[in-house]
Structure 1
Amino acid sequence: MPIDLRSDTVTLPTQKMRDAMRDAEVGDDVYGEDPTIQQLERLAAEMVGKEAALFVTSGTQGNQVAVLSHTQRGDEIILEENSHIFYYETAGISTIAGVQARTIKGVNGQMPVPDIVAAIREDDVHCPRTALICLENTHADSGGRILPLHYMEEVYQVSRKHDIPVHLDGARLCNAAIGLGVDLKEITTYTDSVQFCLSKGLSAPMGSILAGSKELIERARKWRKMLGGGTRQAGIVGAAGIVALEEMIDRLKDDHRHAKKLAEGLARIAGIDIDANGVESNIMMFSVAGLGMGAGEFIKRLNKLDVLANRLGPYRIRFVTHRGITSEDIDRTIEVVKQIAGSNHSS
């Protein structure tokens, strides 16, 4: 089997999840009659310290529903320039929600707070209303960097001063909590809404949670229906989500440890440019420019040696660790990259 480092989205459900899915008590969730989904939503809301939660089919749907629920058409929202909502969600915020993006260049996923303040619109007939500030934790495109609690709090205080809600794209919220060594609530206390995935590192086959106030979630439920996210016997997949929340968070420490080991191994290979100290969760980015080859050629050589990865630019490679990756896989990957680097320097 190839060593698949493309993404933690490739994780497969555990046997306990499969058993729970088979035996799940279900009903029509659009009628509000699926007991397993109700249990999942109560559990999720409690874990992140919010009044209510909503099961959605994906993180992208959860973020889109959140933007729709917080804003009106013609509003403007503030996001980091490489955030998932802006960069990887097929222009949904403009096409569906009808809002304008005000992007800010971040450092390790953090938009400088003075830049956020400067981006907030004054009450002017020529300008859109600043309706939402969006954060992402962990920040995928910066290599899974974690937003510190003091930063979350500082942004939240700005949002209170200007009466603007904060939405957190917490697709890998649990990774952030494990990396910080804190409870989920310590992060989400600085948000008005949060979306987090049950899949990815938590290994459920599908689904995300959107959590916030009861009023917000009632609006979100209607938007979810409009987007085609109203499902019937959804408890079949919701059952796996319950297992994910109850049993799969602590094991993320293994993924972080493997990522750090891999990053440190890559840092010792001539021609690989990686900030191993900056690897804070289960994602790493590195450049192969020093090998004298492009990312596409590097990926081809990896594939021939049974290692899968994604390229994110002309020379940029991403590795992501997850439950399917063992310590032996990490050792093998380091040896494979050494082999590629060595053969390239000798050619």
Structure 2
Amino acid sequence: MIDLRSDTVTRPTAAMREAMARAEVGDDVYGEDPTAERLERLIAEITGKAAALFVPSGTMGNQIALLCHTQRGDEVIIGEGAHCAFYESGAGAAWSGVQFEIAGRGGLFGPDELQEVIKPPYDYHPRPRVVALENTHNRAGGRVFPQRDVRAIAEVARAHGLVMHLDGARLWNASVATGLSVAQLCEPFDTVSICFSKGLGAPVGSALCGDAETIVRARRFRKMLGGGMRQIGVLAAGALYALEHHRARLAEDHAAARAIAEAIREVPGASVPEVETNIVQVDLPVAAGELVAAARSRGVLVGASGARRVRVVTHLDLPAARVAEAAAALAAATREVLTRGATPA
């Protein structure tokens, strides 16, 4: 099977496993794991922030950021379909007691759309506190948040005393697509959550980055949420290996995604939006499950991301030699289901 359901399905390479096996470790809750400390110093440097904290997942990184920045009853302004509201099990409401306000449509928005949803400081309104952007935006199809818009949004946010948080789970892809460094992309934000287990192919882990005071508070929240792990150098070593060896090849994933998109676009009736990074969206006039099943029968795993939308994600476990095979199989599967005619979604 060629598994293109997500870039989280990758497996550690033999060299990564060896690096993990050789990792020097200690008890991180006591602050004694040298490999975790090395990773945190490196990712802080890469993001241009003062400090960083290794966390088990991007969800925990985002939710710790909300805990650091908000009080119960506060409001977090997001783009439509943002991960921190759509894919994190209601954690913002459960742990921080916040509610979410959507700016714009389609995941991305601009400064004017932000301005429209910022509530005035009346007692009967929730208090706007955080603007949280996602780059690249998953449900928008891996779209890159234009840095010009990010900076303009940050100016509006600062004028209203709002904190800026970045869900940068796939920020590596945005950096490759734009040619901007990760630090440049992170500069307008107070905190950044960034992932090692998606495009970079590490088995586990994300980091939350920010100023030193925030990360001290974040470490306590991590412990509260059950993320105070012990000899985490084994996991940190996988992330370090990924940072050192897998960043440069991300352009290959983007090229593979474009090749797959081009093949599916040849099928009449299939709509494939522009591909900016490693995510391909296929919009159909039939139920998404039809294409998922047809693709599986041809040896390719993909996932439904809506009633009539299928998501295809390229990653380092898709060899260049098999890109054409995957593209042909998905095009054939799409042609099959569209030839059958529409079925209820």
State the TM-score, normalized to the length of structure 1: 0.95
- Deviation of 1:297 (Å): 1.7
Q: Which residue of 2 aligns with 1:92?
A: 91
- Could you say if the C-alpha distance between residues 344 and 62 of structure 1 is closer, same or farther in structure 2, counting changes exceeding 3 Å? closer
Deviation per CA, 1:17-46: give whole Å up to 9, x if none: 211111111111011110110000000000
Deviation per CA, 1:112-146: give whole Å up to 9, x if none: 32121122222211112111000000000010000
- Deviation of 1:199 (Å): 0.6
Q: Which residue of 1 aligns with 2:238?
A: 240
Q: Which residue of 1 aligns with 2:11?
A: 12
Work out which of the residue numbers 196, 201, 205 in structure 2 matches 1:203.
201
Amino acid at match of 1:165: V
Work out which of the residue numbers 152, 169, 172 in structure 1 matches 2:167.
169
Work out which of the residue numbers 174, 186, 189 in structure 1 matches 2:187.
189
CA contact (8 A) 1:133 1:165 kept: yes
Instruction: Give distance in 2, aligned partners of 1:162 and 1:85.
Output: 22
Q: Which residue of 2 aligns with 1:130?
A: 128
- Deviation of 1:181 (Å): 0.9
Instruction: Give distance in 2, aligned partners of 1:67 and 1:234.
Output: 24
Instruction: Give distance in 2, aligned partners of 1:247 and 1:328.
Output: 20
Q: Which residue of 1 aligns with 2:343?
A: none
Amino acid at match of 1:85: C
Identity of aligned residues (%): 43
Amino acid at match of 1:162: H
Instruction: Give distance in 1, aligned partners of 2:205 and 2:335.
Output: 42
Q: Which residue of 2 aligns with 1:151?
A: 149
Deviation per CA, 1:300-329: give whole Å up to 9, x if none: 111111110001122211000000112332
The DSSP-based 3-state class of the residue aligned with 1:8 is coil
Instruction: Give distance in 1, aligned partners of 2:245 and 2:188.
Output: 25
Deviation per CA, 1:150-200: give whole Å up to 9, x if none: 011111111221121100000001000001011101100011110010111
- Could you say if the C-alpha distance between residues 66 and 129 of structure 1 is closer, same or farther in structure 2, counting changes exceeding 3 Å? same
Instruction: Give distance in 2, aligned partners of 1:54 and 1:36.
Output: 12
Q: Runs of 4+ in structure 1 displaced over 6 angstroms?
A: none
Deviation per CA, 1:183-225: give whole Å up to 9, x if none: 1011000111100101111011100010000011011111110
Q: Which residue of 2 aligns with 1:297?
A: 290
Alignment of 1:103-142 (within 5 A): 103-107=102-106, 109-142=107-140
Deviation per CA, 1:210-256: give whole Å up to 9, x if none: 00000110111111100000000000100111111122111101100
Alignment of 1:1-347 (within 5 A): 2-107=1-106, 109-275=107-273, 278-289=274-285, 293-344=286-337
- Could you say if the C-alpha distance between residues 345 and 310 of structure 1 is closer, same or farther in structure 2, counting changes exceeding 3 Å? closer
CA contact (8 A) 1:12 1:205 kept: yes
- Could you say if the C-alpha distance between residues 52 and 338 of structure 1 is closer, same or farther in structure 2, counting changes exceeding 3 Å? closer
Gap regions ≥5 residues in structure 2: 341-345
Amino acid at match of 1:178: V
CA contact (8 A) 1:270 1:341 kept: no
Deviates more, 1:15-24 or 1:206-215: 15-24
Amino acid at match of 2:225: L
Instruction: Give distance in 2, aligned partners of 1:343 and 1:195.
Output: 41
Instruction: Give distance in 2, aligned partners of 1:343 and 1:141.
Output: 25
Alignment root-mean-square deviation, CA: 1.3
Gap regions ≥5 residues in structure 1: none
- Could you say if the C-alpha distance between residues 298 and 158 of structure 1 is closer, same or farther in structure 2, counting changes exceeding 3 Å? same
Instruction: Give distance in 2, aligned partners of 1:105 and 1:250.
Output: 33
